[in-house]
Amino acid sequence: MDAMPLAIQFFDHEAQRLIVDRRLPHWSQAGTVSFITWRTSDSMPIAVLERWQSDRDRWLREHGIDPENPVWRTQLGQLDHSATRQFLDTCWNRWHDELDSGHGACALCAPDLAEIVASSLHHFDGDRYLLLDFVVMPNHAHVLVVFPGEESMLAQCESWKRYTATQINRRLKRSGRFWQQDAFDHLVRSEAQFEYLRNYIANNPAKAGLKAGEYVHYSKPLSSS
């Protein structure tokens, strides 16, 4: 475990990166901290999702950004601080508030099912990736992680989701899709953003009103001492 050096690197606009366009655009860059969110397939009612996407796209267009452009996140980051803060307040926070409101069956409230996800995240830590923080919530999971290469992020996310879905469905004696097809991922752009996301992950259970045993939280100490 922890064979990788404990180095934290943030997104470099000048360095090589990989952009894969699926239902969502996915950015990856070797050695850069990624913030990843998966959600269960029933975690966001269609009407809520469509309304959120419509409002987000309208906000972006009002600020001169085409939401269909794979580099819209980079363009968002080039807006002034007040505009990016407004986006976080009106779009990013609203999305996560909807997740925290507890739509769907919330199967991961069950400790044994949440532990399947947590164990999968820990399994190749220090080998295939460097795991920094995560929280497994009743209907979603947030992860801060570093991948050594541009190609490895999507492949590892698919592996995590495929394995955990199989195990959870087996435990629930059901079949079909457990996770939503695409994950949300974001390359962390600064130390301040990294600390914000670490705190967000740590505080997410309390914000959602969860009790002990209804979530799993992990945070890797960054000091070598």
pLDDT at position 11 is 54
Give the pLDDT means over successive 10-residue stretches in the chain (225 positions): 52 49 50 88 84 88 89 78 79 80 92 98 94 97 87 84 96 93 76 90 95 96 67
Q: Are 31 and 146 in contact (CB under 8 A)?
A: yes
Beta carbons of 38 and 140 less than 8 angstroms apart: yes
pLDDT of the residue at 122? 98
Question: Alpha carbon of 204 to those of 35, 54, 103, 136, 154: distances in Å?
Answer: 14, 25, 16, 10, 24
- Alpha carbon distance 86, 114 (integer Å): 33
User: Quick one: pLDDT at residue 174?
Assistant: 93
Q: Token digits for 94?
A: 């609203």
* pTM of the model as a whole: 0.78
Name all domains of the chain by residue range, CATH numbers in brackets: 1-43+107-225 (3.30.70.1290), 46-101 (no CATH)
Q: Burial of 131 by CB count in 10 Å (0-12 exposed, 13-18 middle, 19+ buried)?
A: buried
Residue 161 to residue 170: CA distance in whole angstroms: 14
Residue 34 CA, chain-centre distance (Å), reads: 8
**Cα(216)–Cα(189) distance, integer angstroms:** 26
Residue type, 81: H
For 57, the token pair is: 């796209």
CA distance 187 to 12: 9
pLDDT at 53: 84
Distance separating alpha carbons of residues 157 and 174, to the nearest angstrom = 22
Q: What is the pLDDT of residue 107?
A: 96
